[in-house]
Amino acid sequence: MLRLTLAQMRRSLGRLVAAGIAIAIGTAFVAATLLAGNVLTRTGYDAVTLQFGQADLVAQGPIDDATLTKARAVPGVQAAEPLTTGGVYLTAGNRSSYEMVLGVAADERLRSVGVSNGRTPSAHDEIALAPTTAERLGVAVGDTVSASYSVPPADPDAVDAQWEEKTAALRVVGLVDDPDGAWRQYGGVGLATTEDIRAWSAAGPDDPIATTLLVATADGSEQTREALATALPDTTVLTKDEAAARTISEFSQAGNVLVTVVLGFAAVALLVAALVIANTFQVLVAQRTRTLALLRCVGALRGQVRRSVVVEAAILGFGASAVGLLTGSALAQVALAVLNRSEIQAPLPATITLTWAAVLVPLVVGTLVTVLASLVPARAATRVSPVEALRPADAPEASSRAGRVRLVLSLLLAVGGGLALLGTALGAATGAADPMVWLGLGVLSGATSFVGVLIGAVLWVPAVVRVAGGLLQRAGSTARLAAANTVRNPRRTAATSTALLIGVTLVAMMSTGAATARTSLSRELSDRYAVDVQLSSYGEPVDAAAMDAARAAVAGVEGVREVQPVRTVQLLAGERQLEVVTMPDPRTLVRDERTISGLSEGRLVLPSSASVVARNDTPLTTTDGTPVRVTTAASNLGGSSALADTVTFDAIDPDAPVSGLWVRLDDGVNAANVSRDIQDVLPSGAPLGVESAAAERQGYEQVIDTMLAVVVGLLAVAVVIALVGVTNTLSLSVIERQRESATLRAIGLTRRQLRSSLAVEGALITGVGAALGVVLGLAYGWAGAATVFGSAGHLHLDVPWRDLTIVLAVALLAGLAASVLPARRATRTSPVAALAVD
Amino acid sequence: MQTTDRPAVSARALTKVYGHGAAEVRALDGVDVDFAAGAFTAIMGPSGSGKSTLLHLLAGLDQATSGTVHLGETNLTTLDDDAMTRLRRDRLGFVFQSFNLLPMFTAEQNVLLPLDLAGTKPDRAWFDTLVGTLGLGERLTHRPSELSGGQQQRVAIARALIAKPEVVFADEPTGNLDSRSGAEVLSFLRRSVRELGRTVVMVTHDPTAAAYADRVVLIADGRIAGDIQDPTPESVLAGLEALRTLEGPAGTALVGA
């Protein structure tokens, strides 16, 4: 029987290869994802190990001075140093940067980084900078930078307890050298004394200074380890490798989640591949009806026939999976090589690491999916009766009446799930219960209804195709021929369209969801980041002439639409400080005029952070206690400054000087770049700090866009597989209809007409799948966005016309393209074939 | 019957060779033959005699190795594929052994298909004449799967005649039919010649079917081996018998009847 299976496979090689491509793409996806996950884990592992320097043992737990003393007293311990990390905000001139800082370990063995230029900080107020930070701040060894940090109030229980901003002048004594890139993923690291870091982190004398203690021992023996563990009962003592593994397992949770999510997309791709496979096998079985019947005539058992089909699927699945595994590995390796060449902020290994899981999972999953997909066709094969071998050959029509059970089940799931989804979207808008609960419900009911839609596809997709084909009736005889051919085998057309429909639905859903999210969030963002760029002297007096010069310079920067001088006065709302600003025309300056709609003469608009003042109608006074006669209005304005119009402001303090500049940028410019340009043109006499809310806002928008692009890219794999399926279906139809094509050619169908008829057929199949997918995706995308953003109130359903048009156009073009190869074969058929008897 | 002097189809030195070298098969070997307009001609011969190949070449379905075929004034052997296709569509009709109707179209749609492909309007009167003559009036809305073999072949004949072709080629049109349906189809073919003035060339291996024709051309080993005017089943059988005896081990002679 195996010999027969192999012989049949050889005869159907072309079709099997086409089906195999679908599986290979899916398994390549899985393999590449698993390998990328390995690289991710590996990268993290290496980085963590590097961060421990040459420590023999690592103790994890709260490390304070007492722990240190105890650890150093353990026999066999040569050095014990806390791995102290902290952060500090550094400013030099008008440039600033945040720097992660490590405490300098006294013992060289426990240092993970060195100093290449200058020396290691050894005294209070000394710092060594990462080279990139030094460059960003424009400082060199020997210069001074200003560090700002916060310290907690002396009495945390006081009524108006506030963190206090402190600054310190630090001398740059060296540049950090991190040759192995142990801290590259943090954007580099600085060095300072442990005492300074402790002060910047606002740690008290008894507070733990680190969570990791690095220990160098004389011999690295197990004895020392046990002694250390006994001495430090609050900590876990591990070897360096154990500690790295443990740290990884904690912080690579995020990485694992990512791998899981991507594997989810791979599963979608494999599901689509399974549809393509099932379809191919169904047709293979239909085509071999005579052979199968003959086998049954000469004594093949039903089981043998079924096994033959399943074995064929297993061979195909394994072969295609192996190809997919190789392709996926090659892709991962190429991606790694490309990333290693670019300036990526992580130490990546040079080659991928093949683990058993990364090899076996794609092979097993790919084979399994193929075999499972072949089970239904295999059952169809066993139903071929021996008598069929004796009947005259005619095109086998794989038509069986779709069951009533299927219809009921499909309706139940689709309608039930759809109603549940609608209910979820409406329920989420009420804001009751945890949003995650609504999200979970939404995903569940959405998935349920989609399963219902897919189960029923074989019933309603042909109907839609028939209607769409009906519209083509007037478009001439070739279109009519194509339309008639498309609905001849409803089951196959449905399966092919459905494969595409899944991918397109998901792509459309994601882009609709993202578009809606963007529109819904943009209002929120334009409130919170109302002013694009703010230049402020932070309370320092600025010379009026220098301010004018700065204003002119900023106005000349490309991408700046408007610059307005800002005056500031400090008021008190009860105990609370309130900064009030004014400018000539705030309405043109803010992103969305509605944000400050409450602004009028005698009324201030408060930022959302101070809205409590408006709610309580707290009376305002000047800093010396004089009452100020204004009313206040709450708003969603971000930041900490209240806004007043010029008349109201002058009534409070007509002499307040210009303390800063507020800038509105042109739409569509890169805010981060323009902000940097602004910083660069500022004259040295005006010590203004630049804060770019626009850059932050664009950052958020970019996150949404990037995520969307990644997700759509991943789903596109499923669409590509589905298109392979379309080509496959068309070529199978062409083979089945060889006699008909020949007849048509004999009675006067030109090659062109035959080609265009197939092109229309391909476009009809993909067009219907894509159009239905777009409609479904739109509905699901809206429901999803309503569920997520409904409670936030800013819901605005958006249709991403551009994206949806692209999806439709790609599908139609792909349908046309998918017909090219089958059409070549069809037109090669000689009209003589029409006269052939069999 | 009313044959005119100018033939509808004529072949000169028509040769078709399949394969090369040792595997070379001369399916047709320098055939000269004319088919009169307004006549019903049958081509007969044993299996492998080349009768099907001759039909393919006469109908422009296949390319000849050498020699010429003329349909009226048109030399078929010089036409490219598109011109040939248009010629088949507008000037020739076909009736196949296995009917070859399109299963997804109704009988009427099948009949009108050649006009559809050409994008021309059907001549309603001619359509009605054909439907009436072939007795298809009740069956026009049925699909092929709902028709008997004889009905399907009648639809196929209507399809072959709808464009008023100069010649209709029929390849074993009764091969898949029982004898009653076969007789019916043959009478229709004869009526389309006698009453509707068409020209029909039919390949068959059945002497009874051949007897419906006005003339039988016998073919053996890729050459014309005989010509019988106003045949009867008996005269056709006799002609075939003569071929067989002459085809013995030493037999190379040609017979004319």
3-class SS at A285?
A: helix
CB proximity list for A361: less than 8 A, separation 6 or greater? A30, A31, A34
Confidence of residue B69 (pLDDT cuts 50, 70, 90): very high
Residue B213: pLDDT over 60: yes
Q: How far apart are CA A645 and CA A602, in angstroms?
A: 8
Report the pLDDT value the prediction gives residue B253, as an integer from 0 to 100.
Answer: 41
**Closest by Cβ to A748, choosing from B86, B105, B176:** B86
Distance from CA of A832 to the nearest CA of B (A): 6
Long-range contacts: A64-68, Cβ < 8 Å, 24+?
Answer: A64/A206, A64/A207, A64/A208, A64/A209, A65/A205, A65/A206, A65/A209, A67/A208, A67/A213, A67/A232, A67/A234, A67/A235, A68/A213
Q: Which residue of A has its CA nearest to B84?
A: A748
- Of A88, A85, A86, whose CA–CA distance to A51 is shortest? A85
Task: Give the distance from residue A14's alpha carbon to the nearest chain B alpha carbon, in angstroms.
Answer: 26
Residues from chain A contacting residue B53 (CB–CB below 8 Å): none
**Interacting residues of A644 by C-beta distance below 8 A, sequence separation 6+:** A580, A581, A582, A599, A604, A605, A630, A652
All residues of chain A having their beta carbon less than 8 Å from the beta carbon of residue B52 are: 835
Extract the runs of DSSP E, i.e. beta strands, from A512-630.
Answer: 533-536, 560-573, 576-582, 603-605, 620-622, 627-628
Contact status, residue A826 vs residue A762, Cβ threshold 8 Å: no
B62, B52 in Cβ contact below 8 A? no
The number of C-beta contacts closer than 8 angstroms across A and B is 81
Mean pLDDT of chain A: 80
Q: Which DSSP string corresponds to A310-347? A: HHHHHHHHHHHHHHHHHHHHHHHHHHHHHHHHTT-SS-
B interface mutation test: which of A835, A837, A838 has the most B CBs within 10 A?
Answer: A835
Residue A324's pLDDT band (boundaries 50, 70, 90)?
very high
Are B104 and A751 in contact (CB < 8 Å)? no
Q: What are the structure tokens assigned to A496, written together?
A: 């092919």
Contact (Cβ atoms closer than 8 angstroms) between residue A91 and residue A81: no
More confident residue, A495 or A776: A776
Q: Which residues of A touch B94 (CB under 8 A)?
A: 743, 746-747, 834
pTM of the model: 0.67
- Record: contact A747-B89, CB cut-off 8 A: yes
Backbone angles phi, psi at B86, to 5 degrees: -65, -35
SS3 A140: coil
Write the DSSP assignment of A63-97 as a string of letters. Answer: E-HHHHHHHHHSTTEEEEEE--EEEEEEEETTEEE
Q: How confident is the model at residue B199 (pLDDT cuts 50, 70, 90)?
A: very high
Question: Do residue A751 and residue B82 have CB atoms under 8 angstroms apart?
Answer: yes
Are A221 and A76 spatial neighbours (Cβ–Cβ below 8 Å)? yes
pLDDT above 70 coverage of chain A, percent: 90
Q: Which of residues 212-241 of B touch A (CB under 8 A)?
A: none
Q: In the prediction, which pLDDT does B249 show?
A: 44
Q: Which two tokens stand for residue A780?
A: 């699901």
pLDDT at A667: 83
Decide if A190 contacts A147 (C-beta within 8 A). no
C-alpha pair distances (Å), A289 with each of A285, A551, A656: 6, 84, 94
Beta bridge partners of B43: B203, B217
Q: Give the residue extent of every domain in chain B.
A: 40-60+81-246
- Chain B residue with Cα closest to A743: B100
Across chain B, mean pLDDT equals: 86
Judge whether B159 is closer than 8 Å to chain A, CB to CB: yes
Instruction: Please state, in angstroms and rounded to a whole number, the distance separating the CA atoms of residues A465 and A484.
Output: 10
Q: Measuring CA to CA, which residue among A386, A397, A390, A399 is closest to residue A305? A: A386
User: What is the rounded CA–CA span in Å between residue A77 and residue A65?
Assistant: 16
A562 backbone dihedrals φ, ψ, rounded to 5°:
-155, 140
List the single residue in A with minimal CA-CA distance to B96.
A835
Q: What is the DSSP string of B63-93?
A: --SEEEEEETTEEGGG--HHHHHHHHHHHEE
pLDDT at res. A794:
62
Alpha carbon of B228: minimum distance to chain A alpha carbons (Å): 26
Indicate the Cα dihedral angle A287, A292, A294, A296, nearest 10°: -160
d(CA A730, CA A485): 10
What tens digit of pLDDT does each residue of A717-728 get? Answer: 778 888 878 887
Q: How far is A457 from chain B (nearest CA, A)?
A: 22
Q: What are the pLDDT digits (tens) for A527-565?
A: 777 888 888 876 667 778 888 888 888 888 888 888 998
Q: Please tell me the predicted confidence (pLDDT) of residue A397.
A: 44
Q: In 3D, which of A185, A204, A226 has the Cα closest to residue A77?
A: A226
How do beta strands A95-103 and A190-192 pair? parallel
Mean pLDDT value of segment B215-229? 91
The alpha carbon torsion through A180, A185, A186, A189 (nearest 10 deg) reads: 10
Is the CB of residue B86 less than 8 Å away from at least one CB of chain A? Answer: yes
- Chain B residues within 8 A of A476 when measuring between CB atoms: 119
β-bridge mates for residue B171, sequence order: B203
Element (H, E) at A100: strand A95-103
Q: Is the dihedral of CA B85, B90, B91, B94 positive or negative?
A: positive
Separation between Cα atoms, residue A117 and residue A110, nearest integer Å: 20
What pLDDT score does B31 carry?
92
Q: Please give the class, per CATH, of domain B40-60+81-246.
A: alpha beta
Q: Strands of A493-547 (E only): list them.
A: 533-536
Distance of alpha carbon A42 from alpha carbon A830, whole angstroms: 60
Identify the residue with better confidence: A593 or A187: A593
Label the pairing between strands A57-63 and A210-217.
antiparallel
Residue A696 half-sphere exposure, CB side, CA atoms within 13 Å? 16
Burial environment of residue A251 by CB neighbours within 10 A (0 to 12, 13 to 18, 19 or more): exposed
Determine contact, residues A721/A527, Cβ cutoff 8 Å. Answer: no
- Amino acid identity for residue A699 in this structure: G
Indicate whether A396 pLDDT > 70: no
DSSP string, A660-729: EEEEEEPTTS-HHHHHHHHHHHS-TT---EEEEHHHHHHHHHHHHHHHHHHHHHHHHHHHHHHHHHHHHH
Q: How far is CA B90 from CA A176, A500, A720, B83, B174, in A?
A: 88, 41, 43, 10, 25
CB A562 within 8 A of CB A589: yes
- Rounded to whole angstroms, the Cα distance separating A367 from A312 reads 11
pLDDT of amino acid A347: 61
Considering only the beta carbons, identify the residue of B81, B103, B114 that sits closest to A748: B114
Helix axes A289-297, A302-341, angle to 10 degrees: 140
pLDDT score, position A344: 55
Looking at residue B167, what is its pLDDT?
A: 93
Q: Which range has the worst mean pLDDT, A45-54, A620-629, B89-98, B179-188?
A: A45-54
Query: Using the beta-carbon criterion (under 8 Å), do A837 and B114 form an inter-chain contact?
Result: no
| Token pair belonging to A270 | 């494999």
d(Cα A144, Cα A348) in Å, to the nearest integer?
35
What number is the average pLDDT over the span B125-137?
88
Residue that is written with structure tokens 């700065």 in the block: A550
pLDDT at A155: 67
**Residue A5: its pLDDT value, please?**
81
Q: Say whether A830 and B86 touch across the interface (CB within 8 A).
A: no
Per-residue pLDDT, A394: 44
Any A CB within 8 A of B80 CB = no
Q: Is the dihedral of CA A802, A805, A806, A807 positive or negative?
A: positive
Q: What length does chain A have? A: 838
CB-based contact B113 A747, cutoff 8 Å = yes
Q: Mean pLDDT throughout A676-703?
A: 77
Task: Kindly provide the ipTM of the predicted complex, given to two decimals.
Answer: 0.78
The reply to whether residue B85 touches residue A749, judged by beta carbons under 8 angstroms, is yes
Extract the runs of DSSP E, i.e. beta strands, from chain B: 7-18, 25-36, 40-44, 66-71, 74-75, 92-95, 167-171, 200-203, 215-220, 223-229
Over residues A409-424, the mean pLDDT reads 88
Strands B92-95 and B74-75: unpaired
Cβ-count burial A307-328 (b if 16+ within 10 Å, e if not) = bbbbbbbbbbbbbbbbbbbebb
Contact A278, A374 (CB under 8 A): yes
Q: Under DSSP, is residue A26 helix (H, G, I), strand (E, B) or coil?
A: helix
Query: Does residue A773 carry a pLDDT above 60?
Result: yes
Q: What is the pLDDT of residues A355-374, one digit of tens each?
A: 888 889 899 989 998 998 88
- B126 inside 8 A of chain A by CB: no
The shortest C-alpha distance from B105 to chain A (Å) reads 8
Query: If you measure CA to CA, which chain B residue comes closest to A479?
Result: B117
Residue A718's nearest CA partner among A272, A101, A328, A396 is: A272
Vertex B189 angle, CA B188 and B191, to 5° = 60
| Least confident segment among A154-163, A271-280, A515-524, A582-591 | A154-163
pLDDT class for A258, splitting at 50, 70, 90? low
Separation between Cα atoms, residue A563 and residue A200, nearest integer Å: 36
In this complex, do B85 and A748 lie within 8 Å of one another by their Cβ atoms?
A: yes
Cβ separation A744–B61 shorter than 8 A = no
**Of A43, A48, A45, A70, whose CA–CA distance to A215 is shortest?**
A70
* Number of Cβ atoms within 10 Å of the Cβ of B191: 14
d(CA A198, CA A124): 11
